[in-house]
């Protein structure tokens, strides 16, 4: 059977990738493709064969891949099929532990499987595709292009969900009883669910979701409170199995996994665990970055361009989105992606450190008061230099072109002539699209369209800000 539609959401369930297509008639269809993630293991060939004979390493074959970006030859590595992402991490840890952390190099372990699936199949979120179901597999035909800037998006039904609890204390807690639920639809219609017992309210929430069948659910604090709270209340009422809010017929999960704090640029930040509604898009305005600044237009642009599922893109940092784009190019070039950030920088001597590490050149002006001062603003200065000069972790001081004519000023490091770097390759599409959107915005008279182009170009600008090197180097 064939289906035409836009890829709305996708996730992995043991042994298969579930993809939700939004069809032109507004309906959604759930497709399943028999597919499993794979991890790769590099090391001494004899030791790899011994590893492949271990009882815990099933379903493995040898394949040839580049272990490092920029390598001249491919290496023979072991490819192991795993059931899911958790299994991949578990197996990788076991291999490391049992080899005393020294014999093997592990790759492709921690990349979310929906992303790898999209890279491998040359698809992207919100791409218009034709899907043909054959046995347990799906054959995809792309009717869209990541390069196009005038793409068509499906009409998406949005709702906003709010809840009110009967607070017992000053701060609302999971123990408070549910007071009411408010659903505000696209056409500003407000539905209030406040009658009956708590169980009835929760059940009518599920029914309302079923009837309205929203594609996008927007909340304020859906990750941190609303959905974990609803799941907890449903559990308390013994009806968790009947609280289905996604399109997938699985009930709302209780989120026991805590979010995590991390340190970034001098700040301690906290990231909530994402509450995902399978088959719909949950956007939490309190846990969103791109959409908070550039709206849904910006979010969809990033999701398509960086090949990252929409719900993940909305919560991800700009760095994670950029990383996804670099992963895509690595996968396409048959370059393996190391597990953990374990590749250190190259050795340099103390003199080189002083020259290489001082950052950009700052020309100090002579102190005084001047008039008739002009200002020059370079468009995407650093990314443009990186793209034009082929600057990437693997291209600077490459082993294959020591006499390359392209050199780093002052340090005289050679830059590869043979290999197009993953960073400059990733930057091409971002720079190109951004400059085209800026031009469109300039030429466009329609204010709504101008806003759309502006949102898209600002989202791309955010991504370009963090284009400094390969995430694993």
Partner 1 sequence: METRHTIDPLQPKTWQLDPIENGSEGYLYHCILCDEALVLSKQQINPRKIKLVFDGTCPSCGFELDRVLSCRVSLLPKGRRLLTSLKCRDPELLREPDNQIEYQPRRGSNLPRDLQPGITTGIDSLDKALILKKGQFVSLEGEPSHALSLLLCVRATLPQGLDSDVVFIDAGNLFDTYTISQHIVNLGLESGRVQQRIHLSRAFTHHQVHSLIVEKLAPALDEYGARLAVVSDITALFCDPDVREKKEALDIFRKSLQFLGKTAEQRNMLIIATNQKARNKTMTDALMHTAHVSARLKDKGTYTQLIIARHPFTPQKEDEVVTLDKTLLGYQ
Applying CB under 8 A, which residues contact partner 1? 45-46, 49-50, 52-53, 61-62, 93, 96-97, 100-102, 260-263, 340-351, 353-354
Which residues on neighbouring strands pair with residue 200, listed in sequence order? none
Contact (CB, 8 A) for 64 and 76:
yes
Contacts of 117 (CB under 8 A, 6+ apart): 10, 12, 17, 33, 35, 123
Which residues on neighbouring strands pair with residue 87, listed in sequence order? none
Measured from the CB atom, the residue of 208 and 414 that comes closer to partner 1 is: 414
Contacts of 248 (CB under 8 A, 6+ apart): 18, 30, 278, 279
**DSSP sequence for 86-129:** HHHHHHHHHHHHHTTTTSEEEES-SS-HHHHHHHHHT--TT-EE
Min separation Cβ 250 and partner 1, Å: 27
Min separation Cβ 351 and partner 1, Å: 4
Min separation Cβ 354 and partner 1, Å: 5
The sign of the dihedral angle between the CA atoms of 375, 379, 383, 384 is negative
Measured from the CB atom, the residue of 44 and 439 that comes closer to partner 1 is: 44
Measured from the CB atom, the residue of 43 and 279 that comes closer to partner 1 is: 43
Contact (CB, 8 A) for 306 and 313:
yes
Measured from the CB atom, the residue of 263 and 370 that comes closer to partner 1 is: 263
Which residues on neighbouring strands pair with residue 13, listed in sequence order? 16
Min separation Cβ 133 and partner 1, Å: 28
Longest dimension (CA), the chain: 79
Measured from the CB atom, the residue of 59 and 439 that comes closer to partner 1 is: 59
Min separation Cβ 74 and partner 1, Å: 16
**DSSP sequence for 210-249:** HHH--SEEEESSIIIIIHHHHHHHHHHTT-GGG---SSSS
Min separation Cβ 229 and partner 1, Å: 26
Measured from the CB atom, the residue of 344 and 374 that comes closer to partner 1 is: 344
Min separation Cβ 158 and partner 1, Å: 36
Query: Token pair for residue 250?
Result: 């699985």
Measured from the CB atom, the residue of 346 and 443 that comes closer to partner 1 is: 346
d(CA 333, CA 322): 17
Min separation Cβ 330 and partner 1, Å: 18
Min separation Cβ 87 and partner 1, Å: 16
Measured from the CB atom, the residue of 345 and 364 that comes closer to partner 1 is: 345
Pairing verdict, β 38-43 and 28-34: unpaired
Pairing verdict, β 177-185 and 281-284: unpaired
Measured from the CB atom, the residue of 47 and 144 that comes closer to partner 1 is: 47
């Amino acid at each position: 059977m064939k289906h035409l539609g836009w890829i709305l959401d996708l996730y992995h369930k043991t042994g298969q990738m579930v993809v939700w297509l939004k069809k032109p008639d507004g309906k959604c269809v759930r497709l399943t493709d028999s597919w499993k993630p794979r991890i790769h293991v590099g090391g001494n060939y004899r030791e790899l064969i011994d590893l492949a004979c271990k009882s815990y390493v099933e379903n493995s074959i040898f394949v040839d891949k580049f272990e490092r970006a920029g390598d001249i030859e491919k290496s023979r590595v072991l490819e192991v099929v795993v059931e899911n992402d958790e299994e991949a991490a578990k197996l990788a840890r076991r291999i490391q532990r049992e080899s005393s952390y020294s014999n093997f190099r592990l790759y492709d372990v921690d990349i979310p499987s929906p992303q790898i699936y999209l890279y491998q199949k040359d698809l992207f979120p919100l791409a218009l595709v034709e899907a043909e179901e054959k046995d347990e597999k799906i054959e995809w035909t792309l009717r869209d292009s990541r390069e196009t800037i005038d793409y068509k998006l499906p009409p998406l039904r949005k709702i906003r969900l709010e809840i009110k609890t009967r607070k017992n204390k000053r701060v609302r807690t999971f123990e408070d009883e549910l007071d009411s639920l408010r659903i505000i639809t696209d056409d500003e219609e407000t539905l209030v669910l406040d009658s009956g017992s708590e169980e009835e309210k929760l059940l009518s929430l599920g029914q309302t979701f079923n009837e309205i069948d929203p594609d996008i659910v927007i909340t304020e604090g859906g990750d941190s409170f609303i959905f974990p709270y609803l799941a907890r209340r449903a559990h308390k009422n013994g009806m968790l199995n009947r609280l289905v809010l996604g399109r997938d017929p699985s009930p709302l999960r209780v989120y026991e996994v805590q979010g995590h704090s991390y340190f970034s640029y001098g700040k301690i930040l906290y990231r909530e665990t994402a509450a995902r509604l399978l088959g719909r898009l949950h956007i939490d305005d309190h846990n969103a970055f791109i959409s908070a600044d550039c709206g849904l237009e910006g979010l969809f642009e990033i999701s398509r361009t960086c090949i990252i599922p929409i719900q993940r893109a909305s919560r991800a940092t700009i760095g994670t989105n950029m990383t996804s784009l670099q992963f895509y190019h690595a996968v396409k070039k048959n370059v393996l992606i190391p597990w953990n950030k374990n590749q250190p920088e190259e050795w340099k001597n103390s003199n080189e450190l002083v020259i290489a590490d001082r950052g950009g050149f700052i020309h100090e002006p002579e102190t005084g008061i001047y008039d008739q001062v002009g200002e020059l603003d370079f468009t995407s200065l650093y990314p443009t230099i990186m793209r034009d000069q082929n600057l990437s972790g693997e291209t600077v001081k490459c082993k294959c072109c020591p006499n390359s004519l392209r050199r780093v000023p002052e340090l005289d490091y050679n830059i590869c002539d043979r290999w197009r770097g993953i960073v400059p390759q990733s930057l091409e599409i971002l720079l190109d699209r951004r400059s085209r959107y800026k031009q469109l915005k300039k030429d466009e008279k329609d204010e709504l369209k101008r806003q759309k182009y502006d949102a898209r170009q600002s989202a791309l600008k955010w991504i370009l800000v963090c284009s400094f090197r390969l995430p694993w180097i």
